[in-house]
Amino acid sequence: MTKILFVGLGIMGFPIASHLLRKYKSISVFNRTIKKSEKFKKKFSDYKVNIFKELEHINEHFEFIISCVGNDKDLENIYFSKNGLSKNIRSGGYIIDHTTASQKKAISLSNRFIKKKSYFFDAPVSGGESGAQSGKLSIMVGGNKKKFKKIKTILDVYSKSSVYMGVSGNGQITKMVNQICITGLIQTLAEGINFGKKNGLELNSMLSAIGNGAAQSWQMDNRAETMWNNKFSFGFMNKLMVKDLKIIVEQSKIRNLDIPITKKILSKYILLLKNGHENLDTSSLIKLLN
């Protein structure tokens, strides 16, 4: 039996863990808010779900530990705090982390797990809540190349693509590229949608005309209509994008890289947060246009 511990049953973690449970029939879970763990167990009562209420109570040696939490600080707390999981990591164990975090933290965790003769993979995801629910996430992975095949069997359960990107930290760098590209696209899509609407175009005809050409994108296919109709209560939240873009800005400083458009769009997302829209989908950038 494959022994899996899943840490973090949030918007992304909950559906990811559910795919693993359906595949392997048994899973252990930990979430800081115990109600989420209880909700997960209740929803999948036909399967074996073992709930851990406190980190210090987790003393089993799991083959795979998979985490999907908030940020660098959360990762440090989960793995290397006084009661962190690193105490009971088995030799030869695999740690797969889907958190969007800094390259520095990914490298640090990997190096410390190497000393424990286990393997850490930074494996941030793209595809949003819908991708997690459908099991069609795109995953970018940094870590030990020889051991990647071992974790790919796990990743295939809930992804349409998992690509090895190189040494530890490269998964996070790839996610940064992903977010840079996405935010620029959302901003220009917002401007285009707003421009067409204010000039009297009909939505379906407009999308039919441009959606099969060079302007086509996932964002257009999945967000153009909701942007047009001012609906944003779903998807990837603005507050999470702000977190991701701040990580990117810090990385750009380390490498002395110029990312003027990304910085500009970060300022727009910060404005959305100040306006009380932290939980809206990132396509709500259109709300800032006249």
- Helix or strand run (H / E) with residue 28: strand 26-30
Contact 7, 69 (CB under 8 A): yes
Catalytic residue among 145, 175, 198, 253: 175
- Over 99-141, what HEC string results? CCCCHHHHHHHHHHHHHCCCEEEECCEECHHHHHHHCCEEEEE
| Calpha distance 259→51 (Å, rounded) | 43
Distances from the Cα of 114 to the Cα of 90, 159, 211, 224, angstroms: 12, 26, 48, 45
Structure-token match 């965790």, residue found? 109
Query: Cα angle at 175 between 174 and 176, to 5 degrees?
Result: 90
Distance, CA of 178 to CA of 171 (rounded, Å) = 11
Q: Report how far residue 90's alpha carbon sits from residue 155's, in angstroms, rounded to the nearest whole number.
A: 20
175 among known catalytic residues: yes
- The C-alpha R_g of the chain, in whole angstroms, comes to 20
Alpha helices in 141-169 (DSSP H): 145-155
On whether the CB atoms of residues 281 and 233 are closer than 8 A, the answer is yes
The residues annotated with a catalytic role in the active site are: 175
